[in-house]
């Protein structure tokens, strides 16, 4: 062996400490008189000694320890062992590995070396634009949804609520970013938060309007659910991009699983067919001006033909119990 | 109509029938007839005093107790009166409905005026549409009413008997006021105090002749009786039932409901749907006399729109159980318009109206399934409407359904009419025919 070797104290698969040994004999043990000190209570004060044999080979020798020394693969007690590259021995609870100076290391992991690109959320104007859009849409929806006299109190709430919610929401995420990435990214989180809330305010009416235009029936509630889940997944993805250090592909995979599980759990009753008893009528209630209708009206005859399907459905329900 | 059925705690009322001049109360000849209630006092010129009447007939009335098997005690009570020597007694269906629907959980027994232990009673037959039932005990009855149908004159003094709130047998004076006008299910209007506990008790003339069976009250001396002719018809059927014939009364009830909805459907289909003008629309009006219609337009200067309501309902239903009613026809129109709202804000108003459903017919999980709905744009002779059809099935009575039809006209951007029809307890075919006729009654007159 070389003149110089490395002694590695392992912890699992990784190296906990690394010692360079240049002069032999070298001693290993718990006592402070050793060249390498191990803080393992099961290791004797004078435990191992590494020395050069007459033929020039380096050997490790137990110098009369209390608990003994073991070779690791296969596990066997040893008194003396000639060191080969990557030899591992166990003393007490500690595993030691010996490596030579010429140990080959694996190749460098290649990362995309492009310069960091500024995302649209990080743009200085993105936050005010997103926030203004949110406040505008929220007020517009309140205005259109109110068919009584103009209610200024309600409009104020429509402005203040999204503003407050966004700022608090961004605060939570910013703290998480600070903890894991050392930077708050507050404005970025606020922009993402505004966009998520904008989606939450604007998408349901748009989906309902689409449902009305196309004359969709009961499938509409699933469309609403899917929209909500996509929005949730999208928001979590971008918030987490500023918090976690995961690769985007991994984040997407995790979020798809999380979102789908959440979606399935929140609709577990429907999916399992455990429908609670209800006397309510379940069909979409959105009505829009006649110009929004895009599908043709059916003749009365065929509308009432659909009752046969309903009859079969409720007969099946009645038989279930 | 806010009718209180007299079930919850119903007491029996024994009533004494003073003999009527001329026609005495000879028991109808019964197969195993006990002596007819023989003692006939000489024909009185004036109606006897109430206390005499009571003395004579009190033993013909009994209290019905519905016993819940597990607790071994009564879960509800009502009244009944004897109509045959072999122990047949008339009461209300709603008094014994638990025994009809859950014979494994409930039994009936009669507490006689003469004292002694309660006597077990069997359910023989029911008339669910007229809310009547015949029960029978095995003992021989010496004193009972003969049923005959003679309509008294309006204003005749009548005596209702029963055991209100289990307070003891009571006799109550009141006045005969004829049949309720335009009613869906025939009822006599009795102006006198009928109270919970008196259900199934008789109401008689001063001569002790039964006029009707106590069934419901609206409070304030507004009482309702089932005409005695329905009780006679039911009794005639019940007398033919062999004592040990095993019958599932649920099937009887179902058959009666099917017949009743068929009769209603035929009546409705035979009548043209009258056109009622509502704004620039025409909507179905008072289709048939048993529908009672009401309308109003709230005037609120604060709101930028007007909504006119027009609703019709039979205001009556058939009692199936304490939480299940059927035999209902009802509809409601809401015509909305606005000069001030834009198209989108008007749509919000219109959507809110469309989202309000009429009260569905009362039913619980063990009675009906959930509703299933289908929704479409429908072209009603040139008028585009957004329509939804919802249906639920009866679990105990296969082949009967509740239907709700909702429709909103979509021909204008700041006015419209929204309508809903509720049909309770019809076959699918009949419900479809009626709903279609109803929807085609919608039109636009511009």
State the burial class of residue B296 (Cβ atoms within 10 Å of its Cβ: 0-12, 13-18, 19+): exposed
User: What pLDDT is attached to residue A181?
Assistant: 86
Q: What is the mean pLDDT of residues A6-16?
A: 85
- Cβ pair B377:A284 closer than 8 A: no
Candidate from A280, A297, A321 with C-beta closest to B377? A297
User: At which residue do the structure tokens 């509630």 appear?
Assistant: A221
Instruction: Assign a CATH topology to domain B47-242.
Output: Thrombin, subunit H (2.40.10)
What is the model's pLDDT at position A309?
Answer: 93
**A270-280 pLDDT tens trace:** 888 888 899 99
Interface test with A, best of B301, B351, B360 (most A CBs within 10 A): B351
Ranges for all domains in chain B classified under CATH 3.40.1000: 256-444
Sequence ranges of chain B with CATH classification 2.40.10.120 = 47-242
Residue of A nearest to B354 (CA): A285
Q: CB A310 to CB B351 under 8 A? A: no
Q: Per-residue pLDDT for chain B (446 aa), expressed as one digit of tens each?
A: 455 665 543 333 333 333 333 333 333 333 333 344 444 454 444 566 888 888 888 889 999 999 999 999 999 999 999 999 989 999 999 999 999 999 999 999 999 888 888 999 999 999 999 999 999 998 888 889 888 778 888 999 999 999 888 888 889 999 999 998 888 889 999 999 998 889 999 999 888 889 999 999 888 889 999 999 999 999 999 888 776 555 688 999 999 999 999 999 999 999 999 999 998 999 999 999 999 999 999 988 888 999 999 999 988 899 999 899 999 999 999 999 999 999 999 999 999 999 998 888 889 999 999 999 999 999 999 999 999 999 999 999 999 999 999 999 999 999 999 999 999 999 999 999 999 999 999 999 87
**pLDDT grade for A218, boundaries at 50, 70 and 90:** confident
Least Cα separation, residue B124 to chain A (angstroms): 28
Residue of B346, B376, B412 lying closest to A215 (CB–CB): B376
**Positions of E strands within B201-305:** 202-205, 210-219, 222-227, 275-278, 281-284, 292-296
pLDDT in tens, A116-167: 677 888 888 999 999 999 999 999 999 999 998 888 999 999 999 999 999 9
B-chain CB neighbours of A149 within 8 Å are: 302-304
Interface A–B counts its CB contacts (< 8 A) at 162
- Quick check: B65 and B171 in contact, CB under 8 A? no
**Residue A114, pLDDT score:** 60
Whole-number pLDDT of residue B5 = 61
Per-chain mean pLDDT for chain A: 89
- Minimum Cα–Cα distance from B422: chain A residue: A281
Query: Is A91:A65 a contact under the CB 8 Å cutoff?
Result: yes
Torsion angle defined by CA atoms of residues A154, A159, A161 and A167, in that order, rounded to the nearest 10 degrees: -170
What are the chain B neighbours of A148 within 8 Å (beta carbons)? 302-304
Q: Between chains, do A144 and B384 touch, taking CB under 8 Å as contact? A: no
**CA-to-CA distance for A158 and A98, rounded, in angstroms?**
69
Is the CB of residue B382 less than 8 Å from the CB of residue B397?
A: no
pLDDT band at residue A246 under the 50/70/90 scheme: confident
Nearest CA in chain B to A281: B371
Tokens read off for B241: 């039932």
**Assign residue B178 a region: left if phi > 0, alpha if psi is -120 to 50, beta otherwise?**
left
CA distance B375 to A217: 6
The Cα of A293 is separated from the nearest Cα of chain B by a number of Å equal to 9
The residue of chain B with its CA nearest to that of A296 is B377
Domains of chain A: 5-100 (2.60.200.20), 120-246 (no CATH)
Q: Which chain B residue's Cα is nearest to A299?
A: B379
Confidence class of residue A115 from pLDDT cuts 50, 70 and 90? low
In chain B, how long is the greatest CA-to-CA distance?
82
- pLDDT, residue A172, reads 96
What is the band of A253 on the pLDDT scale with cuts at 50, 70, 90?
very high
pLDDT of residue A111: 65
Chain A residue nearest residue B412, CA to CA: A290
Q: Do B373 and A290 touch (CB under 8 A)?
A: no
- Rounded-to-integer distance, Cα B353 and Cα B333, Å: 10
Please give the Cα distance from A156 to A125 (Å, whole number).
24
Asked whether the beta carbons of A166 and A229 are under 8 A apart, the reply is no
pLDDT of the residue at B202: 94
Do residue A147 and residue B432 have CB atoms under 8 angstroms apart? no
The two three-digit tokens of residue B211, written as one number: 């006029």
Substitution target from B357, B386, B414 for chain A, most A beta carbons within 10 A: B386
Predicted pLDDT at B30: 36
Whether the model clears a pTM of 0.80, i.e. scores above it, the answer is: no
Asked if residue B389 lies in contact with residue B436, where contact means CB atoms within 8 angstroms, the answer is no
Looking at residue B32, its pLDDT comes to: 39
Give the C-alpha separation, B286 to A15, whole Å: 91
The CATH topology of domain B256-444 is Protein Transport Mog1p; Chain A (3.40.1000)
Q: What is the ipTM of this complex?
A: 0.80
> For residue B351, which phi and psi values (nearest 5 degrees)?
-65, -40
- Asked if the model's pLDDT at residue A3 lies above 80, the reply is no
């Amino acid at each position: 062996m070389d003149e110089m070797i490395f002694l590695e104290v392992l912890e699992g698969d990784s190296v906990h400490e690394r010692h360079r040994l240049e002069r032999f004999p070298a001693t290993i043990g718990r006592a402070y008189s050793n060249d390498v000190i191990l803080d393992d209570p099961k290791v004797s004060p004078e435990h191992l000694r590494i020395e050069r044999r007459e033929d020039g080979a380096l050997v490790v020798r137990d110098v009369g320890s209390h608990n003994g020394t073991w070779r690791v693969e296969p596990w066997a007690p040893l008194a003396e062992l000639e060191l080969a590259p990557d030899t591992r021995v166990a003393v007490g609870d500690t595993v030691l590995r010996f490596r030579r100076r010429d140990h080959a290391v694996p190749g460098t992991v290649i990362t995309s070396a492009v310069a960091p690109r500024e995302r649209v959320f990080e743009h200085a104007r993105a936050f005010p634009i997103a926030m203004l859009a949110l406040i505008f849409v929220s007020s517009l929806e309140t205005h259109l949804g109110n068919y009584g006299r103009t209610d200024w109190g309600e409009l104020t709430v429509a402005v203040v609520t999204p503003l407050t919610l966004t700022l608090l929401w961004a605060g939570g995420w910013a703290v998480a970013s600070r903890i894991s990435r050392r930077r708050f990214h507050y404005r970025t989180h606020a922009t993402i938060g505004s966009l998520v809330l904008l989606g939450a305010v604007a998408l349901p009416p748009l989906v309902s309007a689409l449902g009305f235009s196309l004359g969709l029936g009961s499938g509409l509630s699933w469309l609403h659910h899917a929209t909500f889940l996509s929005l949730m997944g999208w928001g979590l993805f971008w918030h987490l991009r500023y918090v976690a250090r995961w690769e985007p592909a991994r984040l997407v995979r995790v979020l798809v699983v999380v979102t789908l599980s959440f979606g399935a759990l929140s609709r577990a009753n429907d999916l399992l067919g455990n429908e609670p008893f209800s006397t309510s009528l379940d069909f979409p209630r959105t009505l829009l001006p006649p110009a929004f209708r895009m599908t043709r009206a059916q003749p009365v005859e065929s509308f009432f033909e659909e009752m046969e399907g309903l009859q079969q459905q409720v007969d099946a329900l009645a038989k279930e119990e | 109509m806010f009718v209180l059925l007299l079930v919850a705690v119903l007491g029996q009322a024994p009533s004494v029938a003073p003999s009527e001049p001329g026609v005495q109360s000879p028991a109808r000849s019964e197969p195993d007839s006990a002596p007819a209630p023989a003692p006939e006092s000489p024909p009185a010129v004036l109606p006897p005093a109430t206390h005499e009447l009571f003395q004579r007939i009190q033993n013909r009335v009994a209290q019905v107790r519905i016993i819940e098997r597990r607790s071994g005690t009564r879960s509800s009570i009502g009244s009944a009166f004897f109509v045959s020597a072999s122990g047949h007694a008339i009461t209300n269906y709603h008094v014994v409905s638990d025994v009809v629907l859950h014979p494994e959980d409930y039994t009936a027994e009669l507490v006689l005026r003469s004292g002694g232990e309660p006597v077990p009673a069997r359910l023989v037959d029911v008339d669910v549409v007229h809310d009547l039932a015949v029960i029978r005990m095995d003992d021989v009855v010496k004193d009972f009413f003969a049923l005959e149908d003679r309509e008294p004159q309006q204003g005749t003094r009548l005596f209702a008997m029963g055991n209100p709130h289990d307070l003891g047998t009571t006799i109550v004076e009141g006045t005969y006021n004829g049949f309720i006008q335009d009613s869906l299910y025939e009822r006599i209007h009795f102006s006198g105090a009928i109270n919970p506990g008196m259900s199934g008790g008789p109401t008689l003339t001063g001569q002790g002749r039964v006029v009707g069976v106590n069934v419901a009250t609206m409070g304030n001396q507004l009482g309702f009786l089932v005409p005695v002719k329905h009780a006679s018809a039911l009794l005639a059927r019940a007398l033919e039932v062999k004592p040990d014939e095993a019958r599932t009364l649920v099937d009887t009830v179902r058959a009666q409901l099917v017949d009743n909805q068929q009769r209603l459907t035929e009546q409705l289909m035979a009548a043209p749907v009258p056109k009622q003008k509502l704004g620039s629309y025409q909507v179905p009006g008072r289709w048939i006399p048993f529908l009672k219609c009401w309308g109003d337009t709230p005037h609120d200067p604060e709101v930028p729109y007007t909504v006119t309501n027009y609703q019709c309902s039979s205001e009556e239903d058939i009692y199936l159980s304490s939480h299940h009613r059927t035999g209902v026809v009802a509809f409601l129109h809401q015509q909305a318009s606005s000069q001030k709202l834009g198209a989108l804000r008007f749509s919000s108003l219109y959507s809110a109206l469309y989202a309000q459903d009429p009260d569905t017919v009362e039913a619980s999980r063990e009675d009906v399934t959930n509703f299933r709905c289908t929704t479409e744009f429908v072209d009603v002779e040139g008028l585009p409407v957004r329509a939804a059809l919802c249906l639920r099935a009866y679990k105990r009575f296969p082949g009967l359904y509740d239907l709700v039809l909702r429709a909103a006209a979509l021909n204008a951007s700041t006015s419209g009419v929204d309508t809903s029809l509720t049909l309770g307890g019809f076959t699918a075919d009949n419900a479809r025919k009626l709903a279609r006729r109803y929807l085609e009654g919608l039109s636009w007159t511009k």
